[in-house]
Amino acid sequence: MNSEATVGDKDQPEELFEHYRFEADKGQNPLRVDKFLSNFLESTSRNRIQIAAKAGSIHVNEKPVKVNYKVKGGDIVQVVFPHAPREIELIPEDIPVPIVYRDEDVIVVNKPAGLVVHPGYGNYRGTLVNALLYVMQNLPMGSANERPGLVHRLDKNTSGIMVAAGTELAMANLAQQFFDRTTQRQYVAIVWGDVKEDEGTITGHVGRSLKNRKVMSVFPDGEFGKHAVTHYKVLERFGYVTVVACKLETGRTHQIRVHMKYIGHPLFNDAEYGGDRILKGTSFTKYKQFISNCFETCPRHALHAKTLGFTHPSSKEFMEFDSEIPEDMSAIIEKFRTYTHNR
């Protein structure tokens, strides 16, 4: 037995596996690494992150750091452990999701609010992908194994029309259409305040907030983020809130939500962008109670992907799918109609 080899093996550093990797934007203000990571790992407590740092599992630029290390622009932050990351097992699940249209190439669904689109950290089951696998067993995997068939996404609490691909060719074709911006997407939103113009266009780069990585910000000078354009048109006014149709020219994360906040009209009950408190109206108890009831009726940001149009990957026919405004948003609109009529 070779004793030197035995000692050498024992002294070798433990192999570490990367579980998470984040790059700080160039404009990142110095921020403690535990707080920086908590902005990304929403399901993980600050205490767990601090414990990981003490165990040497938080690395910045490939070196372990203490919990009080301040992340700067350009830093690469890794979370590493001696065990491999958990593989996400994609399990078909019988989850009720309304199917609007289906053939061999595509499936169009009306996603309910509250349904996460694809599996990920903290959401391994009960997603739209699990539901799609139940009705279409051989969804194409694409480049991201946990997102079979998906070519675009909606936020968890955004409802509305989505398309998924049924074949590899369809997936590539649809993905190219979204990349080339040839799809037609229209949303309906309820926003705070009386939108001044009947219609308009919001232009401003959208990127991760430099203060809170969980949300997006608008960078009007284009120094950060990606180019984003949202067209809007007023559908109905109630003084306190306005119902608008929004047409996306680009498709950035939280685009409508952050663009509407940027012009001073956050989405109704959008907690991440300040719409979950009274931003317009009176201080009367009756009005406060009315808004509280509205928040309970629609316990999410009031945004619905109403229509989606795309060219069918095989037939090359342009197809457009429409949906009704969901009950929670319809109820809010009706409540404001009644309230403003009776005031």
Q: Do domains 99-180 and 184-342 have the same CATH topology?
A: yes
pLDDT greater than 70 at residue 339: yes
* Cβ-contact 150, 109 below 8 angstroms: no
Ordered by start, the domain boundaries in the chain are: 14-81, 99-180, 184-342
Q: Average the pLDDT over 196-212 and give the result.
A: 92
pLDDT greater than 90 at residue 146: no
Q: Which CATH entry fits the domain spanning 99-180: 3.30.2350.10, 2.40.50.100, 3.40.630.10, 1.10.3720.10?
A: 3.30.2350.10
Element (H, E) at 191: strand 184-192
Task: Spell out the residues 6+ positions from residue 189 whose beta carbon is closer than 8 angstroms to its own.
Answer: 243, 244, 246, 256, 260, 267, 268, 302, 303, 304
At 224, the pLDDT band (50, 70, 90 cuts) reads confident
At 9, the pLDDT band (50, 70, 90 cuts) reads very low
Using CA atoms, how far apart are residues 39 and 28, in angstroms rounded to an integer? Answer: 13
Using CA atoms, how far apart are residues 125 and 129, in angstroms rounded to an integer? Answer: 9
Predicted pLDDT of residue 263: 97
Burial class (CB in 10 A: 0-12, 13-18, 19+), 120: middle
Q: Which of 48 and 248 is assigned the larger pLDDT?
A: 248
**pLDDT tens digits, 184-193:** 999 999 999 9
The residue behind tokens 């690494």 is: 33
Per-position DSSP letters for 196-241, written without gaps between them? SSSEEEEE-EEEE-SS-TTSEEEETT-SSSB--EEEEEEEEE-SSE
Using CA atoms, how far apart are residues 279 and 301, in angstroms rounded to an integer? Answer: 14
Instruction: State yes or no: is 270 an active-site residue.
Output: no
pLDDT greater than 80 at residue 343: no
Predicted pLDDT of residue 7: 36
CATH number of 184-342: 3.30.2350.10
**pLDDT tens digits, 133-144:** 999 878 887 655
∠ at Cα 90 (87, 92), nearest 5°? Answer: 160
Distances in Å between the alpha carbon of 333 and those of 93, 328, 340? 34, 9, 11
φ, ψ at 160 (rounded to 5°)? 130, -170
Q: Average the pLDDT over 254-272 and give the result.
A: 97
Predicted pLDDT of residue 188: 98
pLDDT greater than 90 at residue 325: yes
> Which residue in 34, 75, 155, 270 is the catalytic one?
155
Predicted pLDDT of residue 337: 96
Token pair for 254: 């939280």
Predicted pLDDT of residue 144: 55
Task: Spell out the residues 6+ positions from residue 6 whose beta carbon is closer than 8 angstroms to its own.
Answer: none
Token pair for 289: 């109670």
Using CA atoms, how far apart are residues 204 and 338, in angstroms rounded to an integer? Answer: 36
pLDDT greater than 60 at residue 108: yes
At 88, the pLDDT band (50, 70, 90 cuts) reads low
pLDDT greater than 90 at residue 328: yes
At 8, the pLDDT band (50, 70, 90 cuts) reads very low
Q: Average the pLDDT over 79-101 and give the result.
A: 83
Token pair for 148: 């079979």
Token pair for 1: 């037995």
Q: Which CATH entry fits the domain spanning 14-81: 3.10.290.10, 3.50.50.60, 3.30.460.80, 3.10.450.50?
A: 3.10.290.10
Q: Average the pLDDT over 71-91 and give the result.
A: 81
